[in-house]
Every structure is written in structure tokens, then in C-alpha cells.
Chain A
Amino acid sequence: MKLLIVEDEAGLRDSIREYFADAGSVCEVAGDFESALQKINLYRYDCIILDITLPDGNGLEILKALKRHRYPDGVLIVSAKNALDDRLKGLDLGADDYLSKPFHLSELRARVTAIIRRKSFDGNHLVVFNEIELDLLARSVAVNGVDVKFTKKEYDLLLYFIANKGKVVTKNAIAEHLWGDSIDVSSNFDFIYSHIKNTRKKLMEAGCPDYIQMVYGMGYKFSEV
């Protein structure tokens, strides 16, 4: 996939680029409003990660320019302005999604993947990972063509893992993804463990190799064996 990261904070920009780059995607970066505007006028991207508070302009203007030219690029707004109206404004202007800072890179990646999936829909609503097939419309999972019953959270978890395949995903990130902001950080994450155990068990019973590895103390990694 081809991405443009518009973010003025170098530290954050580099982290994002690094997180996406090693997955075989092309990542371009823009650190300010002007260069971002130039880039969108020259190239098309699958998804643009757009910070709306830029030192020399408002990211929303970039979004407007995109929409004015009817460019089909997906747009994910990233903002420190955790303001609802900003979010609504962004979505109203045609952004595909909104993520407020700070976020987990795995969450960002799941969102970006979802946007690209939606954009390149063309009748294909299946996410395939080796023998696992997820139907995004029916929200169902099949392994080797055989349906496997997954609960809603297990399905979300699997999708999250596949979007972040090969990456260590922390328990915090998983918990926040599945239970939202309401999750209590201090509570033990036993129930996450049991969810992962169930998911892994179901996959292996259906004939998958053990894709989910535990990374000691921190989280999990979903990757090719």
C-alpha cells in the first residue's frame, strides 16, 4: 500500500513510517502544510494519515483540496484536538476515519488497513491470511473453507491481529481496541488472555498452525510460523 503521512512532529512521523514501512508498503512523509499539498497534487495514495494541526495551515484544508479534485485517496485524520466537533467536521468533509492522539501504532494500522480495504472494495469483501478467510460483510470466519464460529470480540481480535501481522501488539492496545477507552488499565488482563486462548484454540482446531505467539509480559504477535 502507498501511504502519505502528514505530521509535523518528527518523532511521531518517523515512528509511524517505521511501523508501516517494513510491511512492504511505500510510505511518504510530509512535515508541513505546503509539502503535503504539493504531494497530494502530484501523487495518489491509498491512504493519507493527516494531522490537522500543522504549523503553517490546517490539515482540514488539505482534505478539502482532495475532495475538490475528487481524488479517491482514503483519509485518516489524526489530531491532538480531541474535540468532537473537529472529529465531526473532519468526517463531514469526507475523511474516512478519525483517531485522536495519543494512539497505539497497532490501532492506527488497523484503521488504515480498514480504510484501504473499504476503498479497494471492488466486490471483494474478504480478508485472507493463508487458509483463514474473514468475510467483512457477514463478519464470519472460515478456515480452509469451513465456517468457524467466532464471537464478535474474537472476530475483531483476529482482524486486528491480521492487520498487524508480524508485529508485537501490546495487551493495552488489544484491550483498548476491544473494550474502548472504558477499559481499566489497572485491572488484570486475564479476560484478554482468555479471549486470545479461545481464538487460538478455535483456529488450531480448524487446522491452522499456531499463529499467535505470546511475547512475554507485553503482548502477542500474530505471524507466519
Chain B
Amino acid sequence: MLFTGIVYYWAITMILKGQENKDLAEEEQEVFSYVNTNHQLPPEPKSNSQHTTFTVVNSPVKRKFVGSVFRNEKEGENEPGRGLITNVTVNGIHYKVFIVESSVETDDLIQIIFGITIGVILILLAILFMVNKLVLSRIWQPFYSILEQLKSFNVSNKAEIIPQRSTIEEFTELNNAVLTMSSRVKSEYNDLKAFTENASHELLTPLAIINSKLDTLVQTDSFSERQSALLNDLYTSVSRLTRLNQAMLLLSRIENQLIPGTEPVELDELINDNIIQLHELYTDKDIRLTVNLVHKTLNANKYLIEVLVSNLLINAIRHNVSKGEIAIMLTDEKLVVENTGIPQDLSGQNIFKRFNKSAGSEGSGLGLTISNQICENYGFRLSYAYKQNKHAFMVNFKLPQAPDFLQN
């Protein structure tokens, strides 16, 4: 484009220069013919665009065209011009003839032509660019849409990939492939989840039978110390199994968002109730409790919030040391449960991962996973920090708004 422009500019300039030279040559001819007929110099004609001057010289000068300056008397300014230096001999005296012509108009012409041309080219370019962009984005829109959906695809999310209608065969094919893949992945994932849930369900009945048989067994007679100890171990194990099972069921139900129903939950009251409920548990360990609550209402399922609060509190008690401390702080933005415990930062470990538990813990290993999932369901964020030898779990009620490009 630049090259074409240069060539174009050069060509026009050449043509117009040629025209000017022709004009000048014509003027020269006129001077010559005047001299031939009248044997004297013509008067120095001065027009708006042309001057001719005669100067006496000793020897003839070489004829040539030059770029020059044209003094426009009328406007009183110097304009670019083009001159022709030539000779004329009148009565044996050599005169240098200098014809100068204003090239302002020519230059103006060039500029106008060039301007218009450039303008048209630019407008064309812009239109071309916009049309291109529009057409391209229109054409690629199904592709980007699929891509976007693939990026945000979440196997546990209920949202399906929306089929993109496109007249382009490749995109339709891609679309179909993505749809098939996602639905297959989802159905397999759901099968797996259903299996977990069914397995947990099926386990409940035998567990109930074991439990009831144990309850019946202990009624039968008095047992020896050894038998009692064995029975006690059995009870404890069955109880753990039950708890684990219930935790798995609860987790799968929360993950599937199968626990609906929201109501205003008075969080401060709920925490206080929980503290009362757990009174014996922490006083048994001589734990000092500091509670600092503001009034806070959440819109959520009360049962789930109860599970969340009680999980955090029980963890704080369970993983505490004798004569330790627990601090519970509730502000408008967050709930913090801080406790003393083993002097080790746990943030490097996947504490929110299933079945990740400390060596001595006899919990289900699902407590934090469940808590985390509950938080996720309500758009809260559960985080862990270790500072000043204290483990702190924090529930942020207000997530910072994600940047726009992350939403969709």
C-alpha cells in the first residue's frame, strides 16, 4: 500500500512536472519567436503565475529546468515555483532568460489528489477492517462460545454445555463432540457419585442391625471385664463407621446441592447454642474460651450452617491441647475460630481434602471437606492460617467480586 502510494505520488508529480516544463518551454518559444520577429527583447511579462526576467551574460548558459521560488507580488509571499533557464541572443548580446512559474497550483493539485486518494484508501481500509472483524467474529462466535464453555466446564456443576448452532460443518462437529464428551463425563461422574451414595445408604441398614444387636447383647447378662472391653471397642468402631457413613452421605448431598431451603439464620445465636452444647467437651480439656460476636444473620439452610459451625468448633476442641485456648470472633464479614494446638503450620497440607486427617484424629476426615463444601455452596470462603502458634479457620461471608473475565 505504501509502495503503491509512493509510485502513485511520484507518477502524478512527474506528469505535472512535465506539464509545467511544457508550459515553460512554450513560454520560451514565445520569447524566441518575439525575438526573431522584433529583434529585441520582449517586455518582461508578469502575470500571476509567471515571470520572465532577462539578464545580460557574457556567454550563453546551459539550458535547464530548475526548482525555484516564485515571488507572488499580489499576495506578497514566496511560493514554490519551477523555473527554466535558457539563452537568447539579441543583436549579439547574450541574455540569460529565466522564466519562473508558480507551482503552487500544481502542488495544491497534487496535494488534493493525494489527499483524496489517501482518504479513500484509509476509509476503505477501515471499512475492510471492520467488516473483517465483524464477519470473523460472527463466523468464529460458535467456536469461542464452545471454548468459553469448555473452560468453565465443571464436572460437578449441574449446568450443561449449551449447544451452539452453526452453519459451519467443522463447528457443528466440534460442538457435537464436546456435547457427547461432556455428557459422558457427567454421566460417569454421576454414576460414581450415585454409587457412593447408594453404597452409603446400603451400609446403613446392616449398621443399624449391628448396633441393635449390640444393644440387645449388652442387656443379656453381666459380662467379664474382658468381654466388656471387647464390646466397648465394638461399639466405638460401629459408631465411627456410622459417623463416617453419615459424613459421606451428607457430603454427597451437599455436593449435589440436594439440601435446599434457605431461611434467615441468626449466626451469633447459633454459635452460642453450640458453645453451650459443647460446654462439657471443652471444659473437660480445661480450654479457655473467648467469644466475641456481633449480631449477624445469614440467609442459608439452618441445618447446614449448624453443621459448619459445629464442625469448626469441634475441630478447635478436638485438636486442642490441655489448658489450651479457643477464640471465636464473629464480625459482619467473617467468622474466625482460632485455637491452640500442635505447633505446626498446616497450610502446606491439603487440609480441606477428603480423608486428610492428623495422625491421632479419630474423626471421619471429612469434617473440613464438608465445611468447605457448605461454604462453597453459599459463596463463602473457608481459609486456614497459622499465626503466633495458633490455628485459625476463617469463613469469609463476602467474597471479593471476581473480575468480569472470570465470571461467565
Question: Is A121's CB within 8 Å of the partner chain B?
Answer: no
**Stretch of A13-21, A33-41, A61-69, A204-212 with 4 or more beta carbons under 8 angstroms from chain B:** A13-21
Question: Is B152's CB within 8 Å of the partner chain A?
Answer: no
Label chain B's interface by main secondary structure: helix
Instruction: Known A172-B235, A180-B277, A218-B231; judge A185-B243 contact (CB<8 A).
Output: yes
CB distance from A56 to the nearest CB of B (A): 16
Are B213 and A168 in touch, CB under 8 angstroms?
no
**Stretch of B130-138, B204-212, B376-384 with 4 or more beta carbons under 8 angstroms from chain A:** B204-212
Report the bound CA distance from A167 to B218 in whole Å: 9
**Stretch of A78-86, A127-135, A140-148 with 4 or more beta carbons under 8 angstroms from chain B:** A78-86
Are A191 and B281 in touch, CB under 8 angstroms?
yes
Are B236 and A168 in touch, CB under 8 angstroms?
no
CB distance from A177 to the nearest CB of B (A): 12
Interface residues on B, range: 35 or more
Restricting to B211-267, which residues have a CB under 8 Å from any CB of A?
211-213, 215-216, 218-219, 222-223, 225, 228-229, 231-232, 235-236, 238-240, 242-243, 246, 249-250, 253, 258-260
Are B222 and A15 in touch, CB under 8 angstroms?
no
Are B223 and A12 in touch, CB under 8 angstroms?
no
Are B314 and A184 in touch, CB under 8 angstroms?
yes
Report the bound CA distance from A153 to B278 in whole Å: 12
Restricting to B254-311, which residues have a CB under 8 Å from any CB of A?
258-260, 277-278, 280-281, 283-284, 303, 310
Taking CB atoms, residues of chain B closer than 8 Å to A19 are: 212, 215-216, 219
Are B204 and A80 in touch, CB under 8 angstroms?
yes
Question: Is B193's CB within 8 Å of the partner chain A?
Answer: no
Q: Which of A9, A179, A184, A215 lies in contact with B277, CB distance below 8 A?
A: A179
Question: Is B362's CB within 8 Å of the partner chain A?
Answer: yes
**Stretch of A24-32, A89-97, A98-106, A110-118 with 4 or more beta carbons under 8 angstroms from chain B:** A98-106
Interface-central residue, A16, A106, A182, by most chain B CB under 10 Å: A182
Are A217 and B215 in touch, CB under 8 angstroms?
no
Instruction: Known A18-B216, A105-B215, A106-B215; judge A217-B229 contact (CB<8 A).
Output: yes
Report the bound CA distance from A19 to B208 in whole Å: 14
Are A12 and B205 in touch, CB under 8 angstroms?
yes
Are A168 and B212 in touch, CB under 8 angstroms?
no
Task: Annotate A187-225 by CB proximity to B: 1 below 8 A, 0 otherwise.
Answer: 110110001000000000000000000011111000000
Instruction: Known A15-B216, A217-B232; judge A9-B209 contact (CB<8 A).
Output: yes
Taking CB atoms, residues of chain B closer than 8 Å to A182 are: 277-278, 310, 314
Instruction: Known A80-B208, A102-B242, A186-B362; judge A168-B219 contact (CB<8 A).
Output: yes
Which 3 A-B residue pairings sit nearest by Cβ, starting from the closest?
Answer: A217-B228, A186-B362, A102-B208
